[in-house]
Every structure is written in C-alpha cells, then in structure tokens.
Structure 1
Amino acid sequence: MNVMRRTAATLATVAVLLVAGCSSSGGEDDPTPGPSASDRNGRPDDRKVSGLRGMTLPSWNTDDYSRPQAETYLRQIAATGTRWVTFTPTWYQDRVTDSAMRTTGETASDDSLRHIIRLAHDAGLKTMVKPHVDLTKGGDRAEIKPKDRDAWFTAYGRFITHYAQLAADNGVEQFSVGTELAGTSRDGERWGRTIAAIREHYKGPLTYAANYDEYQKIPFWKDLDVIGIDAYWPLADKATTDAARLRSAWRPIVDELAAFSDRQHRKILFTEAGYVSQRGTTTAPYSWTVSKRDGEAEQAAAYEALLAAFDGKPWWAGVCWWMWDDWPDSGETAKRLAYTPHGKPAEKVLKKWWGER
C-alpha cells in the first residue's frame, strides 16, 4: 500500500512454509482448523483459528522504529492475538522512469529496524521484512517502468539484498522480495536473478507482495515459497455494514484463488489487506480517501467477512493487515478515519478471531 503522501493506491516448498509457521495445517500460529473453524453462528471456534495472524507497522521517517512508542505499539498488536508483524523500510526514486532508488529522511534507519525486530521478538512476535520502493514526486509504485531496466535491476538488487542480509542477521522469519512493482514484475528473467541473489543472503521463506490485479501476471512464483497478494478487491458497489453480504462477495475470489494456488503448488498469503474506517471503504479498499464520513462499522464488517471467508481454507496462509497506528505527528489521515483498527470495532473482531481464550 503506497503511503498517502505519495498517492492513494491503485488498483519452496510446503516443508519450508511449515518451518516458518505460514502453513494452515499446524504450528503455534496456525492450529489445524479441520473443515471449518466456525460454528453455526459464524463465530470462531475457541480452539482453532487458521492462517498466519499478522499486522503491518509501517515507517515514514528515519527514527520511527526507534521511537519510545515502538514497544507500546508492539504490545498492543500482540494483545489482539496477532502473532506476526511486518516492517516496511522504504527507499525512493523521483520518477517512474528513473534507474535507481535511494534512501531519504523518510527511510527507516538500519539501526531502528534492528531495534524494532528485537523488540518484536521480545514481545513474542514473529517478523516479516517487506521493503518498499516509493516515489518522491507523486505516482504509484506499480507504474515504475525504468528507461534503463538493467540499471534499475542492478540498483534494486543492491537495495533488496541489503535488507535480505539485515533480515538474516537479525533472525527475521520471512522476507518479501518486492511490493506492488507491476511495471517490472513481468520480467521473469531479471526477477529470477534477483531472487537467486537474495537467497545467497537469506535462507528463510520468500514471498512477493503482488497487488490483487497483478498476481496472475507474475512469472516467477516458482522461484518463491509462498504467493503474496495485497488483497484490496472491491467487495461492494455501495457502502454496507452487512458482513454476510461481504462474505458472499468473497466467494468467487476464493474459488479463483484456490484454483490459482493449486496450479502454482504454493499457498497464498495476504501480504496486505485493510480497510479505512470511512463509509464506502468496501467499494475501494485500496483508497485512503473514500469519504469523510465515519465508517467504523463497515470496517469491522469487512474484517469479519475476510476472516470468515478464508478461515479453514487449506491453501490460505493467512493475512498481514494494513496497518496499526501511525507514528505521532506523521499520519496524514485522522486516526478515526484511517486504516488502523486500534480502538475501533474492527479490533474487537480481531480479538474475537485471534485473541487468547
């Protein structure tokens, strides 16, 4: 998910995954659910909740991950029943045609990233590092199409292997090789070489976070351990708080994903999914600015529908929600309207499905 300051967003093996806790068939993150983990009323069984339980904590500034609030945020995240947390160090390029990316004052420092990984482990959370590339002059990262592709991939290789080594050195349990780079992701040969270079540094499970309208066009899933999708499918044509209706809207998508997983012989992880607490969020989950009207009930219904629709699916590896609270003085969307579920009905939905019982 691109940050608002840039733009509103637009549209290997099972054994390795079991070790990583990303399988929906066992392990402490993911008790075996059987055919369904819901009772007749649609409530989660007290003993069985399937899939990786994740939350994203993004950074917008150099020192975010070393702020005093970091430990508090992680405790709050863990209290929802979340067992994984995703971090998003970001480099920037000015234009979609540029041939390289660089750090800026909005890039989390390496020391701060190491610090928050350590805090997360201390809090009993597993970690995924999901580096992002964004644009300083506006636009969507999906539109990045460098004029000099060889130069861009060389620069990207330096960027991503830097974080792969940092992840390896700090015991990170899963790593994403890229996020929503649709303008380059059809280049299977160059991406294959990039992934091979990453594996020289990082031996854990790898994914790529494809946008929901991108994942079927990716030629390199065979090189990765799990399919990653940023799951911002529109579910309604008008605002609704009807969780049953939203769950029904997921049905054709569930069927589509089940078939895709079977063809690729890989499980599917929602590397992102989320809803602002604004009226109409289910019509455009990828948008930070659907409306200025409160939509907490719609956000909660959307959380309920996703968790109910995918619970117990043996090919579904879980979800990393976008996102927890913004850091003080950095959010450009008021908390009451933002993606965070914290302090809202959606947090209660998470605790119902994921919380300790």
Structure 2
Amino acid sequence: MAAVLLAVGGCQPEREEAPVIRGITLPSWYRTDYDSPAADRYLRDIRATGARWVTFTPTWYQKRRGDSVMRPTEETASDAGLRRIVRRAHAHGLKVMIKPHVDLPGDGDRAEIRPRDRAVWFTSYRHFITHYADLAAATDAEQFAVGTELAGVSGDRAAWTEVIEAVRDHYDGTLTYAANYDEYRRIGFWRELDLIGIDAYWPLSDRPTQSGERLRKAWKPISERLAAYSREQDRRILFTEAGYVSQRGTTTAPYDWTVSTRPGDAEQAAAYRALLDTFTGRRWWAGVCWWMWDDWPDSGETPAKLAYTPHGKPAEKVLREKWGAS
C-alpha cells in the first residue's frame, strides 16, 4: 500500500521533491481508435513533452441513468487495440494508467448515474472493472483506476470496498479512483486505495484571465485544503485529470469544453503554468494526468484550435519547460 509519509511536528520541509506522475490522457471514442495509424505519432509527441505517463480510457455505456447494466458498444476501444497501444506506450518509454469509464450516450453526465437496482448495477460494474483489471495485469500497466466521476453511486462504501477487493484479486499494481473535484470529500474508501485521485476542474476565476498571479492566488486555498485532506487520509493526491480548453474564459469553468468560441491559447497556457507552479514539489502531490492529447483524426467534435489539447500551442511549451523535455 503506497501510503504517503507526511511531515511530523514540522520537522521536515513542506516542499520536497518526490516522485510524481507527469502524464497525459489519450482517450478513445471508437472501437478502432487505439489502432489508428496516428497512435505511434501521438505517443512520440506525448513523450517529447517530458511526459512519462499516458492514460487510456476504454469506455462502456448504459443507455439511461437509471439502468442497472453497462455494456461495450462500437464506441468502446477494442481489447486487442488497448493491448497493442499499451505495448506501444511501453516501447516509447511511457508508463501506463488504464482508467475505464462508464458513460451515458451523447452529453449525459456520468455523475448522474443512479441505477434503479444498485445491487444489480454493482454486479455489472464488477464484471466491467475486473475485465479491465485483467487486461491491465496482462499488459503490465503500472496503474489502474477503479472508477471515474461516479458521484451518484460513489457514496456506497461497502459496495466499493467489494469492487476494490475484486480488482485486487485480478491486478497487483497501484490503484486509485478518479473523483470529480466536488466529489472527493464524499468518498469513504480512500484507505482501500493507494492514491487519492481527483479530476481537478476547479473554477479559478469569475472572468477570463491570463494572470499567473491571480491564478496562483486562486489555487492557494485549494492547495491548503488538499494538503490537509492528504494528511487526514494518509494518502498522496494525484490529479487523475486536469485540463483547460484553449478558449477565452477556460479558467472560469475548466470542465466546460464549450465555454467560448473565442480562442484563448494564452489563458490555457497560463492555467497550465499556474497549476504546475502551485503543486510541483509538494510532498503530498503525486502528479497530474492532463486531459487530453489530440483527438483521433476525424473524431473531434471541437476544432483543435479550441479543444483541450495543448499540442502545438503555448501550453505545450509550458509542459516542455516545466517537465524538462530535451
């Protein structure tokens, strides 16, 4: 169990370099995405930023928020494709987190999933998550997320403890759960996991801003609360997701991919820099997996110039600087 060792009695410095995850997510939206001819190029480009981790997100779907089962669809990355891209990532010198998602069709929010029959839903969920735990074990993936932003069901501590026990029967690596930024305090099973995972989409401003000073000031009370929570739970905190679209106003609602139609490359870059300035070197902080690298060719709903990707934008230069890319 990878519990964090925190300073006692003020005898050790609050800031001290510790191993951190420098990661970027490469999500999938279709069965063949991870077999795309672009896959090797994407992995090379991710590695070139200074990243040392990549996250993959195979996704199953349930039709309605009250349904009690989830299933793979044509939008689910194939198992064979996922195995191949994990092997490719390792060949490029990247460590891997597999972070399975359960989603609703269209723009439905997975946090609103509230099954009519919870017992049946959790039985279906254990089948889903252990399927990917087996795949993670078979591919030597270094880390695994047992769930992502399932706020409608994540309060059931006993059921999640059973899920985690089932996953540990199939997979021996590091485990986390990816809680939304407004969900993590309601999670009762952090002690069963190795890392606290938070999707760090906190709003940082009430209006568009490129001011690093203002953004760092906004992060300060959040950082203090997270440090205290890490001590309380005796676990380091990983930002399992964090990201900003390159749109004006992204710092007001980082979770919104349609906040504006006006480009905001400088605001995106300022947000990247403020996050890394704030948290790098904090002993309780385990790193970040940025959302996200490029969409697959012909699959992106948002034009690349406005999307979450930092690729080819000032935000990528921030990553290269902060992560020491050669």
Task: State TM-score, norm by structure 2.
Answer: 0.96
* Amino acid of the structure 1 residue aligned with 2:2: T
2:276 to 290, 307, 310: 307
**Superposed CA offset, 1:303-340 (max 9, x none):** 00000000111000000000000000100000000000
Structure 2 match to 1:272? 241
User: 1:69-84 residue pairs with structure 2 within 5 A?
Assistant: 69-84=38-53
Contact 2:265 2:315 in 1 (8 A): yes
Q: CA deviation at 1:355?
A: 2.6
**Residue aligned with 1:227, SS:** strand
Distance, in Å, in 2 between the alignment partners of 1:285 and 1:328 is 24
Structure 2 match to 1:179? 148
Distance, in Å, in 2 between the alignment partners of 1:139 and 1:356 is 37
* Amino acid of the structure 2 residue aligned with 1:13: A
* Amino acid of the structure 2 residue aligned with 1:276: V
**Superposed CA offset, 1:164-197 (max 9, x none):** 0000010000000000000000000000001100
2:221 to 233, 236, 252: 252
Task: State TM-score, norm by structure 1.
Answer: 0.87
Is 1:152 matched up with 2:121? Answer: yes
Structure 2 match to 1:51? 20
Structure 1 match to 2:180? 211
Distance, in Å, in 2 between the alignment partners of 1:171 and 1:183 is 31
Is 1:98 matched up with 2:67? Answer: yes
Distance, in Å, in 2 between the alignment partners of 1:284 and 1:150 is 35
Cα distance, 1:299–1:50 mapped onto 2, change above 3 Å: farther
Distance, in Å, in 1 between the alignment partners of 2:40 and 2:325 is 20
Q: CA deviation at 1:35?
A: 6.2
**Residue aligned with 2:203, SS:** coil
Structure 2 match to 1:116? 85
Structure 2 match to 1:343? 312
Is 1:289 matched up with 2:258? Answer: yes
Contact 1:50 1:311 in 2 (8 A): no
Contact 2:24 2:51 in 1 (8 A): yes
Cα distance, 1:313–1:336 mapped onto 2, change above 3 Å: same
Aligned length: 321
Distance, in Å, in 2 between the alignment partners of 1:149 and 1:332 is 33
Distance, in Å, in 2 between the alignment partners of 1:282 and 1:50 is 27
Contact 2:66 2:114 in 1 (8 A): yes
Contact 2:15 2:283 in 1 (8 A): no
2:139 to 170, 194, 199: 170
- Which aligned runs of 4 or more in structure 1 are off by greater than 6 angstroms? none
Contact 2:238 2:287 in 1 (8 A): yes
Distance, in Å, in 2 between the alignment partners of 1:350 and 1:49 is 18
**Residue aligned with 1:279, SS:** coil
Aligned-CA RMSD value: 1.7
**Percent of paired sites with the same residue:** 65
Distance, in Å, in 2 between the alignment partners of 1:182 and 1:95 is 16
Distance, in Å, in 1 between the alignment partners of 2:260 and 2:106 is 24
Structure 1 match to 2:171? 202
Contact 1:92 1:136 in 2 (8 A): yes
* Amino acid of the structure 1 residue aligned with 2:261: K
Contact 1:132 1:179 in 2 (8 A): yes
1:237 to 206, 209, 232: 206
Cα distance, 1:280–1:138 mapped onto 2, change above 3 Å: closer
Cα distance, 1:137–1:327 mapped onto 2, change above 3 Å: closer
Structure 2 match to 1:352? 321
Distance, in Å, in 2 between the alignment partners of 1:145 and 1:137 is 17
Distance, in Å, in 1 between the alignment partners of 2:238 and 2:211 is 25
**Residue aligned with 1:323, SS:** coil
Structure 1 match to 2:2? 13
Distance, in Å, in 2 between the alignment partners of 1:70 and 1:241 is 33
Cα distance, 1:212–1:347 mapped onto 2, change above 3 Å: same
Contact 2:18 2:283 in 1 (8 A): no
